Structure formats: structure tokens, C-alpha cells
Amino acid sequence: MRRPPKLLRCCLLGVVACIIVAASAHAYAQDAPAAFRPCIDPSNLPFSNTQGEGFENRIADLFAQKLGLPVRSYAFPQRMNFVRNTLRYKLPGQDFRCDIVMSVPAGYDQASATMPYYRSTYMLVYPKGKGLDQIKAGADLFALPPEARNKLTVGIFDRSPASIWLARHGMEFQAKPYPMLSPDPEQYPGEIIEKDLAQGKIDAAIVWGPIAGYYAKRVRNLDLALIPLKSETGVKFDYEIAMGVRYGEPEWKATVEKLIADNRAAITQILREYNVPLIDERGDLVQ
């Protein structure tokens, strides 16, 4: 077969190169995000809501500003199958609904978890001046005199570490369980503090740190003590929290991790504004 003249070969190579460049540019244009798109719960303070009042909203605003993008949130109740219905949901011919879940446990397997951006723990919350002031650590709860301990009602969420912890220490009958995932969209986790604890329906509550800190600060008629609980054998209270992106998007994950690394001070300041209890690797509060 006769080879094409050298000039023709050069022209053909140039055309191919132009096609490759054009295709690459088109692909880049498609991949370049037009907005920072977090998957959020529409009503789950202190984490997020559709009014942008949660700390996840604030951190999303921060990241979007750094990227020079607007925020375009997708709201869906954070119940069962949240990730499947938000981050991983895609109809044929359409785009994904959102690109990042702002809070997932480090090592979460339903999404590709980033480096952690904070660590917190469950908190024992009780009103000061009501007979529990001697409790300065979790173990002090079980050291109360039996007549005082057996009269307590401690609000906990079902399927939480608190239920296991109380049962292991012989206080399962003092536990009042609340559903962790309520089908009622009007209910919110902070009610256990803002309503039932504040109204005296329970004597204490054991709640995930960000919820405890935020709602304890909102209760005006009581001075509430917040006692960080340390993990023990068989009961894990403290968790590192990361962000979650889709598997197969390493460039986007690297972008998010750089945003976390470059903005740790600003993220921590936002968390502190919401009274999120932050702990170190030993489980001690970070002042």
C-alpha cells in the first residue's frame, strides 16, 4: 500500500491533534462544576436546613467561595437510603442531584470518605442544680447512690451507643428510648433536649455531641451541663467525621480534601459557633 506524501501525513496528524484537543476541551467543560452542590437535609439543625442555617450549609458556603462557585443544594430528608437518593441518584440522560455529603463517619462505605474534618463524641446532658452536679465523667453516673440512680429517667436514641452503655452498666430500666429515624418530618433530634429535658420529662439525655451542644445553648430556662463520654471496650462514643463523595471521582475528592486542609481554622471556627464539642484522639475536649 502506497504511503501518503509527507505533507499529507503532517496535515492528517494536525487534524487528529485538533480533534483530540477539541475533545479534551469539551470533556473539561463538561467536568468543570457550575456550582458547589451539597446533599443536605432540609430540616436538621445544627447540621443543615433549606434556609442555610446549619454548619454544613456554612462550610458549603465557605468551600464554594474558595472555588468561585455558587451553592446549589439538593435537599432530601436524611433518613434511610439518603445517599442512594441523593449522591448516587441519577436518571438516564440526567446529571446527579448533588456531589457531596457534608458529614459522614470516617471510613463510611456508601461513599468515598475524605480525610476527617472534626472529631466529636456523645454527651451526657443534665440540668445543673437538680441533684446530678457530682457527675463530672460518664462513670460518675453509675457511682450515684442506688436510690438516686434508680429514680432517673435518661433519654437516649434507640440503636445508639448510649443504649448499649446503660445496659452494660445495669441501667437499662432507666433508659427512655427515642426513635433515631422518625417518619414525622416535623420531629428533629434536638427535641430530646429542647423540649423533654427542658420540661422535666426526663432527668438527663445522652446525645451526639453537635446536637447536644447546639440545643443545650438554646435552652434558656436551664443551665445545662455537658459531659463528654469516652469510649470503652464494646462501646464507641467518639467518631471522626469526614465528607463523602462518589466513588470513581478522585479529582473531586482531592479538591475537597485540599479545601478541608487549607481551611481547617475557618471550619473549626464555624463548628465552635454552633457549640460543637470537639475532642482530641484521647477523647478529651479541645478548648
Examine residue 136 and state whether it is found in any structural domain, yes or no: yes
Q: How confident is the model at residue 31 (pLDDT cuts 50, 70, 90)?
A: low
The backbone region for 274, taken as left when phi is positive above 0, alpha when psi lies in -120 to 50, beta otherwise, is alpha
Count up the domains in the chain and report the number. 2
Please check whether residue 7 lies inside any domain of the structure: no
234 in a structural domain: no
In a domain? residue 19: no
Whether 16 is covered by a domain: the verdict is no
What residue numbers bound the domain in which 220 lies?
119-228
Q: Can you tell me the mean pLDDT for 85-110?
A: 95
Residue 2: predicted pLDDT? 47
Q: Are 239 and 21 in contact (CB under 8 A)?
A: no
Q: In this model, does residue 7 exceed pLDDT 80?
A: no
pTM of the full predicted structure?
A: 0.86
Same domain, 196 and 54: no
The confidence band for 17, taking pLDDT boundaries of 50, 70 and 90, is: very low
Domain boundary (174, 195, 228) is at: 228
The arithmetic mean of pLDDT across residues 63-92, rounded, is 94
Question: What pLDDT band is residue 188 in, cutting at 50, 70 and 90?
Answer: confident
Per-chain mean pLDDT for the chain = 89
Are residue 219 and residue 138 in the same domain, yes or no? yes
Instruction: State the CATH number of the domain containing residue 114.
Output: 3.40.190.10
Whether residue 196 sits in one domain with residue 105: no
| 76 and 88 belong to one structural domain | yes
Same-domain check for residues 130 and 107: no
- The model's confidence at residue 32, banded by pLDDT at 50, 70 and 90, is low
Which pLDDT belongs to residue 14? Answer: 42
Q: What is the pLDDT of residues 200-222, one digit of tens each?
A: 999 999 999 999 999 999 998 89
pLDDT beyond 70 at 62: yes
Q: Are 249 and 173 members of one domain? A: no
